Structure 1
Amino acid sequence: MANNRNQQLVVQNARAALEQMKFEIAQELGIQLPQDGYYGNMLTRDAGRIGGGITRRLVQMAEQQLAGRY
């Protein structure tokens, strides 16, 4: 996830959890993340796969929480 100043997290403490999720998903997909934090040389396809994995996992977590409420 890019560190963009225009992106505001609703829950500020979620940043560390999202970063951890990014590393977990990249590892599951066999994608090596750059050690220096610069993602400019990363393949767009790989970045999209990681972002898609994060989105799928977040949707799954939300669905589980909603299912528990009703």
Structure 2
Amino acid sequence: MASSQSRGIVVPQARAALEQMKYEVAQELGIQLPQDGYYGNMTTRDMGSIGGYITRRLVQMAEQQLSGYR
């Protein structure tokens, strides 16, 4: 059964935190993000690296939070 809710940020207030994390991760990886917000000239490899690292960091944060509930 299809969900009527589209995929996206579940908590709208998290958008700013995720945006900040994107810039932090890019800086750690040595990737320069364009200031104008247009990512069309970015390589797929660079953007995938940023997204993958963000995912790993979010999973790690969730695991740390869950480990406190045991």
Asked whether the two chains share a fold, i.e. TM above 0.5, the reply is yes
Q: Deviations over 1:10-69 (max 9, x none)?
A: 111000000000000000000000111000100110000000010000000000011011
Aligned-residue RMSD, C-alpha? 1.0
Identity %: 77
- The residue identity in structure 2 corresponding to 1:9 is I
What TM-score, normalized by structure 1, do the two folds share? Answer: 0.88
Q: Structure 1: give runs of 5+ residues left out of the alignment.
A: 1-5
Residue 69 of structure 1 aligns to a residue whose secondary structure is coil
1:24 is matched with: 24
2:39 is matched with: 39
Structure 1 stretches of at least 4 aligned residues deviating more than 6 Å after TM superposition: none
For residues 7 and 40 of structure 1, the distance between their equivalents in structure 2, rounded to whole angstroms, comes to 22
1:3 is matched with: none
1:55 is matched with: 55
Count of aligned pairs between the two proteins: 65
Larger Rg: 2
What TM-score, normalized by structure 2, do the two folds share? Answer: 0.88
Q: Structure 2: give runs of 5+ residues left out of the alignment.
A: 1-5
- The residue identity in structure 1 corresponding to 2:27 is Q
